[in-house]
Structure 1
Amino acid sequence: MTTTELQKVLDGRFAEVRADVRAQLTQEDMTAEPGLSLAEHRALTLANLRRLAATGRPHRGFAGDVGGVVTAFAMLAWADLSLLVKAGVQWGLFGGAIQALGTERHHAEHLPRIMDGELLGCFAMTETGHGSDVQNLRTTATYDPRTQEFVVHTPDPSARKDYIGNAARDGHLAVVFAQLVTQGRGHGVHALLVPIRDAQGRPMPGVTIGDCGHKAGLNGVDNGRLTFDHVRVPRTALLNRFGDVAPDGTYTSPIASETRRFFTMLGTLVRGRISVAGGAGAAAQKALTLAIRYGDLRRQFADPATGEERPVLDYLVHQRKLLPALATTYALHFAQDELVAELHELHAAAEPDEARQRALETEAAGIKAVGTWHATRTIQTCREACGGAGYLSANLLPQLKADTDVFTTFEGDNTVLLQLVAKTLLNEYGRRMAGLDLAGKARLGAELLAEFALERTGARALLVRGGLRDRAHQRRLLAAREEHQIATVAQRMRAALKPGADQFAIFNAAQDHLLAAARAHVDRIVFDAFARAVDRCAAPATKALLGKVLDLHALSVIEAEAGFFTGHAYLSATRAKAVTQEVNALCAELRPHARELVDAFGIPERWLACPMLAGELDPADDGGAGIPAVHESAPLS
């Protein structure tokens, strides 16, 4: 077994891109040293952004290599997350919005300078009073046919554009999302190009720019606030791919429904959501590499048999902290790669495929939510696993922790994203049910009664049998959980269709159930992506090792959801205990491979260099690494 073989599987179809980025990251020094002032950190990040622009890689993304650019973007998390976010704002959000929502005149005028890093800009969507509820933003863009201009205005303090990257210092042009009004009628949220600074860097007339100031992390990004006092921009400033305004104020759109038009516009920006999930995954990879290497190096407590201190990674409790998280990081990596590949293919397709696009948006929302939550938990666990050493800035984990914390709420709040996933699942379930004839509905009713009886009697656990390391059985359990959650929440939501029903109360009472259904769906698709990656693996030894990692991931999920599986009689109490025993056994079996599993991520060594991995810590300092000191009163048995 070699690390190289594992890395080939992880690198997948974008292996060439990954090799190129690794070479670049090995050569470049983009480190933001602890203790930089806000001004120094922002200046360094801007300088590094211009260095990235000089490589020409942004041009490839706008030329069609979307998958390669999204892959390269995520890898920046290994080096500097402020740079990752600033690059995402510049090329993913600002440039991406102009490319996706604008037309040829906007592309020709702006995209070359955006790609070269000459024109820096903002993506001004979020408002102080409306973050997730984009459809009800309050900023207005009212058309004046006399001058053929839009008047962009912030009507009240809650409509202030907030947390906007590139706004506080560097941006000169903003993509501003506002309610479009023409001829006295609103047409929903649209995007317009609004200059916010002149050539000397001064705010444009009517534009007020504020600074969000020092944040918990990502202080290389100049987040700011924007308000507009009747700012006029020409009619051509409207990004008009999905809606246009004629000189006389007549509004036209190729999409008649305002709601469908709104979601189509947002759907074109899915690349940002996928990119955030990728960056979070790369950050989790780095944290696990640091913690597992340290766990292999750090020794505590003498072995009674030999008198020698053991690496802390030899202890089951330490393995339990890190190895299931590593397995899930692998699983999410493969799911992310499939998302990126689908994004790439849809972008390259000659004709749009609305069904595939909607499916991509749903999976991107789910994997972004689950992946960023996983990164947050994993980085915290890695910090704890490294004890006091993990709390030192020089050992990199605190910055990872601070910089990724906001990932769970930007590019879509995770709770809202999972609600969107659940809504899609319910719609699909409803369509399937509507397509049943009378005989089909009768069969469904009989099946539901039988399922209820199996659950009440506990007989289901006798029928749903299989080896815990049998992949088909693992998937059967995960799919059964998904199907059960979707079917039962659909039954609850049917009450909202009755005349006079209090729809908010019914929805609100079922929110936890909706989120559980969405999470079950994401867990199943992530498992499937990992399984496909294992099947593609040609080297027998590598395939066997990855199979064990997949087992650990799947059984960790099943263990975490033991309450569901036992409560609904998919597992007996005895079988649930057996799942825990298998997780423990897999941790022990994968312990000898832990180092090669993290080395296979291929993170350049310069981005892992820190005192705790160089043996520079005082060996007399226990670091509080979390291993119980039971040996002082009794030998370990």
Structure 2
Amino acid sequence: MTDAAFDPGVLRRLLDGRWAHVRDKVRETLHETDLPSGDHLDTEGHRALTLEQMRTLAKSGIPELGFPAEYGGGGDPAGSVVSLEMLPGNLSLMVKAGVQWGLFGGAVVALGTERHHERYLRDIMSLELPGCFAMTETGHGSDVQNLRTTATYDPAAQEFVVHTPHEAARKEYIGNAARDGRMAVVFAQLITEGGNHGVHALLVPIREQSGKVAGGVRIEDCGRKAGLNGVDNGRIYFDQVRVPRENLLNRYGDVAEDGTYSSPIDSVGKRFFTMLGTLIRGRVSVAATAGGAGKLALEIALRYGDVRRQFEKPGESGEVAVLDYLGHQRKLLPALAKSFALHFAQQELVASLQETLGSGDERAQRELESRAAGLKAVTTWHATETIQACREACGGAGYLSENQLAGLKADTDVFTTFEGDNTVLLQLVAKGLLTNYKDQFDELGTLGLAKFVADQWVGAVFERTATRSLVQRIIDRSGEDDILDRGWQLKMFDDRENHVLDGLARRLRKADKSNAFEVFNNAQDHVLRAARVHIDRVVLEAFVGAIDRCEDEATATILDKLMDLYVLSNIEADKAWFLEHERINPRRAKAITQAVNDLCMQLRPHAVELVESFGIPRQWLTAPIATGAERARQDRMAEHDQQLGTV
């Protein structure tokens, strides 16, 4: 059995990690400030409440974290990501804050220059200038490079003319657009001197100070959504809207008064991907918040399962807590273990974000973008699956709005498709090995392509983290063929990734000049699987690194159990592959299932303490089935202590 003496406070400090001071600041702020969800309100009321809460949040100093210190910010972009993770109980507020300070403000910081920073950043931080991030179009959601909105330079007036050429080019689903935004960062094809220089971003006013829609701009309300109705999503059309030349965010491309275009990056493609790479914070934030929502759902369900009783055990008086049933444990505890694993992977990602932004290291930037894409996909899918499992685990009580799970489910559902559709993001992870695939193919030939695939994959996308040396030592010293041996587990994940990669390379060898696209398209199932098993391995290695940092033996022991559960439940879910490829035999497959059962039962006594250790601010735990469960749990503990005192 797991040592019961572990200290949840010690575990929380490990989970809080490098940005513990940010988490503590948010907890303190939320303890003193009431920011309730507005899910019970109509659309207009919810939007109005969320805007007021944004103003309250702006005064707290938390939104300033990610902005440059010279303009009154905290100079800590990673800290701003962590702060958003702490808002899982009011996801409309989180998303609206992410649009204002992460996407809109982040784009001005990353793509603008001093003239933009000096003029706009203070007003963005204070919410004096509410803004939008207008990238996605109706006809080109994921294909940003081929957006149709145009920004054509007029040298006589020294202005850009921003235009929506047809219905499919309208800006779609833009947060802050329908009600509150006054300015938008608009992504458009930059045209000057008759030439198209690719997608660039410009600051375009969409409303006057009074709130009246600006001339030449048309805005439509997207209307009520399945969730996140405190966020005013809208559609924006531009009809020959003129903005000054200085409104071009010109860090990576500029236009002189006479219309001459210049850029520090010659390649249109490289310039485009460099620009998008600077905006990676939004994707990292979505993964963080999805993880937080999943943890909140688990805390509600585990607290309820700990006290909810059904059926009597033969020969004993009293009913059995539903969390004592293995079937109930199976619903929730593997999800809890995976939440721990993803938390530590997110920690590594945020640290990499802090170290990579502005470093000029292109290789590190590519690795960051790949990892952010993969973790966003895996974490948001995990949140969706976990919240549904928690809803089912709470029965009819979980379907009541007051118990939060229905709202969490509705609000997070869109996370799998915004800030990048998950399927597309996994393709980005896998296609990192095929940079400039079509361009390179002609020079490579069939055999050259296979080598290119392997070299790119191993060298760029699957670049090993600092944890890798630790992992390799564990693998090297492992001589045991035991499912609970850490070396064996790491080898299973490594071997699966390498095998899937080898198979993909063999499939791509069939390509020639006439069928390169078809061969790649026909291998998409393989491409997506390669990305998925890569992320599984990355997450496991982050977990290994976290336990290595843990100096408290009891805490490390329980984390070891959680890691075993994460690994073996992953292998169990992918049992068909491991059996088909003879990595395990049927007897071992059965042993893995039994081990998962055993681990669930060993972790069950500590389930509530484990989920508490995430330190979710108490303001967000409002579900009566959770708060009532906590009171019942405290009563049981007090009764137990009293009994001990009378012995």
**Quick check: TM above 0.5?**
yes
Corresponding residue for residue 66 of structure 1 = 77
1:549 aligned to 2:562? yes
Corresponding residue for residue 293 of structure 2 = 283
Q: Distance in 1 between matches of 2:421 and 2:618?
A: 33
Match among 263, 282, 286 for residue 273 of structure 2: 263
1:488 aligned to 2:488? no
Corresponding residue for residue 638 of structure 2 = none
Q: Secondary structure at the match of 2:310?
A: strand
CA offsets 1:409-445 (integer angstroms, 9 cap, x no match) = 00000000000000114569989935999xxxxxxxx
Q: What does residue range 78-93 of structure 1 map to in structure 2 within 5 Å? A: 79-93=89-103
Corresponding residue for residue 424 of structure 1 = 432
CA offsets 1:22-73 (integer angstroms, 9 cap, x no match) = 1112222111244301111001101111111111222221122112111011
| Structure 1 pair 274–235 and aligned structure 2 pair: CA distance change class (3 A) | same
Match among 327, 334, 338 for residue 328 of structure 1: 338
Corresponding residue for residue 128 of structure 1 = 138
1:230 aligned to 2:240? yes
Q: Secondary structure at the match of 1:305?
A: coil
Q: Distance in 1 between matches of 2:19 and 2:611?
A: 19
When structure 1 is superposed on structure 2, of 576-585 and 87-96 the one drifting more is: 576-585
Q: What does residue range 448-487 of structure 1 map to in structure 2 within 5 Å? A: 466-487=481-502
1:166 aligned to 2:176? yes
Q: Distance in 2 between matches of 1:156 and 1:168?
A: 20
Corresponding residue for residue 632 of structure 1 = none
Corresponding residue for residue 311 of structure 2 = 301
Q: What does residue range 53-452 of structure 1 map to in structure 2 within 5 Å? A: 53-63=58-68, 64-77=75-88, 79-347=89-357, 351-426=359-434, 433=451
Q: CA deviation at 1:500?
A: 1.8
Q: Distance in 2 between matches of 1:185 and 1:67?
A: 38
**Any stretches of 5+ residues in structure 1 without a counterpart?**
438-462, 620-637
Match among 3, 13, 26 for residue 8 of structure 2: 3
When structure 1 is superposed on structure 2, of 116-125 and 25-34 the one drifting more is: 25-34
Q: Distance in 1 between matches of 2:514 and 2:172?
A: 38
When structure 1 is superposed on structure 2, of 568-577 and 165-174 the one drifting more is: 568-577
Corresponding residue for residue 49 of structure 2 = 44
Q: How many residues align?
A: 588
Q: Secondary structure at the match of 2:86?
A: helix
Q: Distance in 2 between matches of 1:538 and 1:207?
A: 59
What's the TM-score once normalised by structure 1's chain length? 0.90
- 2:454/2:505 contact within 8 Å kept: no
- 2:450/2:509 contact within 8 Å kept: no
**Any stretches of 5+ residues in structure 2 without a counterpart?**
1-5, 69-74, 438-446, 456-477, 633-647
Corresponding residue for residue 499 of structure 1 = 513
What's the TM-score once normalised by structure 2's chain length? 0.88
When structure 1 is superposed on structure 2, of 18-27 and 311-320 the one drifting more is: 18-27
Corresponding residue for residue 462 of structure 2 = none
Q: Secondary structure at the match of 1:76?
A: coil
Q: Distance in 2 between matches of 1:76 and 1:325?
A: 20
Q: Distance in 2 between matches of 1:372 and 1:430?
A: 37
Corresponding residue for residue 457 of structure 1 = none
Q: Secondary structure at the match of 1:292?
A: helix
Q: What does residue range 568-583 of structure 1 map to in structure 2 within 5 Å? A: 568-583=581-596
- 2:86/2:617 contact within 8 Å kept: no
Q: Distance in 1 between matches of 2:84 and 2:39?
A: 23
CA offsets 1:137-158 (integer angstroms, 9 cap, x no match) = 1101111111111110000000
Amino-acid identity (%): 61
When structure 1 is superposed on structure 2, of 360-369 and 559-568 the one drifting more is: 559-568
Q: CA deviation at 1:523?
A: 0.1
- 1:56/1:116 contact within 8 Å kept: no
Provide runs of 4+ in structure 1 moved above 6 Å.
Answer: 428-432
Q: Distance in 2 between matches of 1:129 and 1:585?
A: 51
- 2:450/2:506 contact within 8 Å kept: no
Alpha-carbon RMSD across the aligned residues, in angstroms, is: 2.0
When structure 1 is superposed on structure 2, of 86-95 and 53-62 the one drifting more is: 53-62
Q: What does residue range 10-49 of structure 1 map to in structure 2 within 5 Å? A: 10-49=15-54
Q: Distance in 2 between matches of 1:376 and 1:542?
A: 28
- 1:426/1:486 contact within 8 Å kept: no
Q: What does residue range 472-621 of structure 1 map to in structure 2 within 5 Å? A: 472-496=487-511, 498-501=512-515, 503-615=516-628
CA offsets 1:522-558 (integer angstroms, 9 cap, x no match) = 0000000011001111110110000000110011111
- 1:101/1:241 contact within 8 Å kept: yes
Q: Distance in 2 between matches of 1:412 and 1:615?
A: 38
When structure 1 is superposed on structure 2, of 387-396 and 63-72 the one drifting more is: 63-72
- 1:297/1:613 contact within 8 Å kept: no
